[in-house]
Structure 1
Amino acid sequence: MVMTPADCPFCEIVQREDPDAREVYRDEHVVAFFPTDPAVLGHTMVVPRKHVADIWELDEMTAERLARATVRLARAIREAVHPEGLNVIQSNGEAATQTVFHLHVHLVPRWDGDGMGPIWPEETNYSEGQKDHALRAVREACRSLSSDV
């Protein structure tokens, strides 16, 4: 799905045009805020101020700035709400449950018995041949990538 800054709800937050946004952090490169319907209390989303649809459109400089802010905010969440754990979730594409096509990172504090539940399947049934095929394909793709992502 194509989303432009004009119709992007996260760009609206970045531009301070959403009066209901619960912003927790802002600098010249990123904005962090609570989602409207948090998974748990303290759930925070970190977005680049620049409109980037997904990880495949992300340049290295924006990635670096987003990563630094994500670590900083993870520490703030740990200090503020004292979770037992933390999920860092970043989804790309509808198949991966991305619903707003402005790259974002979810920081989800976790406690034993919280409402989130597990995020991984209990088991998978891939054959060794399937795993080896995927390994070879990804290794080959890595070799062909240029260093300037």
Structure 2
Amino acid sequence: MGKEECMFCSLEQNGEQDIIFENDTCLYIQKASEQKILEGSGLIIPKAHVSQVFLLSEQEWKDSRELLIKAKAWLDEKYAPDGYSVGWNTGETGGQTIPHAHLHVIPRFKDEPYAGRGIRYWIKQPENKRTSLKNE
């Protein structure tokens, strides 16, 4: 998928995406339909089409951090979450389905069915052990 087909490079074509904050190189966005289950969740994305987190410029890193801090303060005020899950998926095997770097910012609440289970919970289950390591 190139820049032309990238949903994060053409946010104006997706009426569900709201830009909440932005700075010189990055945006903090929220998708309306995601709010039904992951209340308050959003993404920090570079404005430029950068395919993965490892290719972010120094300024994009700084601006991502700036938006993360700003988003947290806003989310704390608006939703008062009990915690956060924050993370990058990189590469298809790493769970990245959109080839445009994006940082997930997910407020977490004590009354969630999966409260207390972090971003590693599913991948550290015994049934996820690599086939090549099963005999060890």
Partners of 1:115 and 1:33 lie apart in 2 by 25
Q: 2:34 maps to what in 1?
A: 37
Distance 1:116 1:108, change over 3 A: farther
Q: What is the RMSD computed on CA atoms of the aligned residues? A: 2.2
Contact 2:53–2:102 (CA under 8 A) maintained in structure 1 = no
Q: 1:147 maps to what in 2?
A: none
TM-score of the pair, normalised by structure 2: 0.77
Kindly provide the CA deviation profile for residues 38-84 of structure 1, in whole angstroms up to 9, marking residues without a partner as x.
Answer: 45110011111111110221121211111111111111111110000
Q: CA deviation at 1:17?
A: 3.3
Q: 2:20 maps to what in 1?
A: 24
Distance 1:123 1:37, change over 3 A: closer
Q: 1:72 maps to what in 2?
A: 70
| Correspondence for 1:4 among 2, 11, 15 | 2
| Correspondence for 1:98 among 96, 99, 117 | 96
Q: 2:109 maps to what in 1?
A: 111
Q: 1:61 maps to what in 2?
A: 59
SS, match of residue 60 in structure 2: helix
In the alignment of these two chains, the number of paired residues is 121
The percentage of counterpart residues that share the same residue type is 20
Q: Structure 2 unaligned segments of length 5 or more: list them.
A: 127-136
Q: CA deviation at 1:115?
A: 4.4
Q: Structure 1 unaligned segments of length 5 or more: list them.
A: 125-149
SS, match of residue 95 in structure 1: coil
Asked whether 1:46 is paired with 2:71, we answer no
| Correspondence for 1:81 among 79, 82, 94 | 79
Q: CA deviation at 1:116?
A: 4.5
Q: What letter corresponds to residue 37 of structure 1 in structure 2?
A: E
Q: 2:133 maps to what in 1?
A: none
Q: 2:120 maps to what in 1?
A: 120
SS, match of residue 96 in structure 1: coil
Contact 1:54–1:93 (CA under 8 A) maintained in structure 2 = yes
Structure with higher Rg: it is 1
Contact 1:40–1:115 (CA under 8 A) maintained in structure 2 = no
Q: CA deviation at 1:4?
A: 1.8
